[in-house]
Structure 1
Amino acid sequence: MIDHEELPPAAFVGKRLVQVTTAWHHYSDHEPSLLHLWLHLEELGPVLIHTPGTGLTLRVDRPHGPYEMAQHGNVSVVDDSPGFPLTRFVGQQVRSVREISYNDGRVDFTAGLTLQFPGGSVRLLGFDDDLVIAHDQHLGAVEAFLYEDVSLARVVQTCGACPSQWDAWTSKGQYLYLRYRRGEGIVEQHPSQDTDTWDGEESRLWTIWDDGTNGGWIDLADFLAMAGLRLAADAEVCTT
């Protein structure tokens, strides 16, 4: 990859996390704060996760160092820091990447991403120039304004086996194509179920995994659990 090249979130899907590098700003009277975060991903190399104010940017960029002490103070750069929320996923593939929206009735923007791994998930959020890493934790009052479009309002099975396949629509109206074949599950986002619309900028890969079974059939509930999706309480489900 080219240094400083910006990446779409979908570029992470299916890539193995090989290393996590963090830069910490140390203060004499405060706990260290996270200054920079790099995820080293198979085929992509080191990717800097940066917040330009609100939300995140993903950029191919090598870890900095040494830092200018006058500008940054005392900074330490650490690889695979024990206890850091992402370190536990080193060696695992990114199964899915989902956008996290923020809407408090006044402003509406993409605040960050959820990265799902076989061993769990972690949220990366950008607020007011601060990068927030959240794993298995509630973020307080801000949680009421965070939203992921992972609830399915309608699911139509289009093939029962070899592959197991569905058309699905989220509660926000986004069309998703779900397929399981040869042990591999995928979720793709497209403008509609019309395949003639599948080659544009609105199409992207949401999720991919391989369970190693080489199977051609999976139950919808099991598929959704693997993909990090769920049925809405009043969802319409049509089977073949």
Structure 2
Amino acid sequence: MIDDRELPATDLIGKRLVQVTASWHHYSDDEPTLLHLWLHLEGLGPVLFHTPGIGLSLRVDQPHGPYAMAEYGNVSVVIDSPGLPLTRFIGQPVRSVREIGYNDGRVDFTAGLTLHFPGGSVRLLGLDDDLVIAHDRQLGAVEAHLHEDVSLARVVQTCGAHPSQWDAWTSGGRYLYLRYRHGEGTVEQHPSEDTDTWDGEESRLWTSWDDGTNGGRIDLADFLAMAGLRLAPDAEGRAISPKTDRKG
């Protein structure tokens, strides 16, 4: 399947990584640099990650063969390169996708994505027309300008079990609905806690996983660890009378 339309990053959630393909620049004696990246995902096919200038663009597309262009020099295409941090996650599903913002006081844009797998996470960034994969490595001075809205400033528990669920607000002001039932945990972003606002374009899935227990109760700390979220140091938290499961 080939589709020139932009692919929403949320479409990656829950899809299992089956293969990684990368194309590399080769300029004379310089170290090769990454040009394009394809993540082959079960149910989607190969998803091309590339940068149109700043930020990332995603679409379903087939990898091309090796080629030479005056603009790029020689380009090689490598499958499951052992030097790519992503290859260690082959066989694992994408648990969550987070946007990475860049703000240096002059420009503010979405620079890339953090993909979370059961075995860890990796950052994919589009900076100055370069595609960058950052696993454990820091990116120098640019690191201070990168941020993810994953810190919770306020959490309200609305049901203790079957499901365990919370209303939560990030430090950036986003409302999140946290839910755990039948062993499945989900994080959804919505305009507000009013369920009448949940059907619009501003609603999206942040995280989904299944721990295989079929359980209906989980502590907040364990849920946040699985979801890749954290409490802000001065976070507010409380429990209120249980509400009806909003998902039925």
Structure 2 length-normalised TM? 0.94
How many residues matched? 240
Partners in 2 of 1:186 and 1:14 — Cα distance? 11
| Structure 1 unaligned spans of 5+ | none
Does residue 195 (structure 1) correspond to residue 204 (structure 2)? The answer is no
Partners in 1 of 2:2 and 2:172 — Cα distance? 35
- Letter of the structure 2 residue corresponding to residue 46 of structure 1: P
> Does the 8 Å contact 1:162/1:216 carry over to 2?
yes
Partners in 1 of 2:36 and 2:203 — Cα distance? 30
Partners in 1 of 2:159 and 2:221 — Cα distance? 15
Partners in 2 of 1:73 and 1:140 — Cα distance? 27
SS at match of 2:67: coil
SS at match of 2:154: strand
Partners in 2 of 1:3 and 1:133 — Cα distance? 24
Q: Larger deviation: 74-83 or 154-163?
A: 74-83
> Does the 8 Å contact 1:6/1:57 carry over to 2?
yes
Match of 2:47 in 1: 47
> How far off is 1:139 after superposition?
1.0
Match of 2:21 in 1: 21
Match of 1:132 in 2: 132
Q: Larger deviation: 60-69 or 25-34?
A: 60-69
Partners in 1 of 2:3 and 2:236 — Cα distance? 46
- Letter of the structure 1 residue corresponding to residue 205 of structure 2: L
| Structure 2 unaligned spans of 5+ | 241-248
Match of 2:165 in 1: 165
> Does the 8 Å contact 2:15/2:41 carry over to 1?
yes
Partners in 2 of 1:221 and 1:71 — Cα distance? 50
> How far off is 1:122 after superposition?
0.3
Does residue 96 (structure 1) correspond to residue 96 (structure 2)? The answer is yes
Partners in 2 of 1:131 and 1:82 — Cα distance? 18
- Letter of the structure 2 residue corresponding to residue 39 of structure 1: L
> How far off is 1:27 after superposition?
2.4
Partners in 2 of 1:29 and 1:105 — Cα distance? 37
- Letter of the structure 2 residue corresponding to residue 29 of structure 1: D
Partners in 2 of 1:231 and 1:71 — Cα distance? 46
Partners in 2 of 1:56 and 1:71 — Cα distance? 20
SS at match of 2:85: coil
> How far off is 1:26 after superposition?
1.7
> How far off is 1:28 after superposition?
2.4
Q: Provide closer, same or farther for how the CA distance between residues 75 and 227 of structure 1 changes in structure 2, counting only shifts above 3 A.
A: same
Partners in 1 of 2:107 and 2:69 — Cα distance? 37
> How far off is 1:138 after superposition?
1.1
Partners in 2 of 1:69 and 1:56 — Cα distance? 22
Partners in 1 of 2:130 and 2:71 — Cα distance? 17
Superposed, 1:85-124 pairs within 5 Å as 85-124=85-124
> Does the 8 Å contact 1:112/1:125 carry over to 2?
yes
Match of 1:144 in 2: 144
Aligned CA RMSD, in angstroms, stands at: 1.1
> Does the 8 Å contact 1:49/1:59 carry over to 2?
yes
SS at match of 1:97: strand
- Letter of the structure 1 residue corresponding to residue 118 of structure 2: P
Structure 1 length-normalised TM? 0.97
> How far off is 1:53 after superposition?
0.6
Partners in 2 of 1:74 and 1:218 — Cα distance? 52
> Does the 8 Å contact 1:3/1:62 carry over to 2?
no
SS at match of 2:81: coil
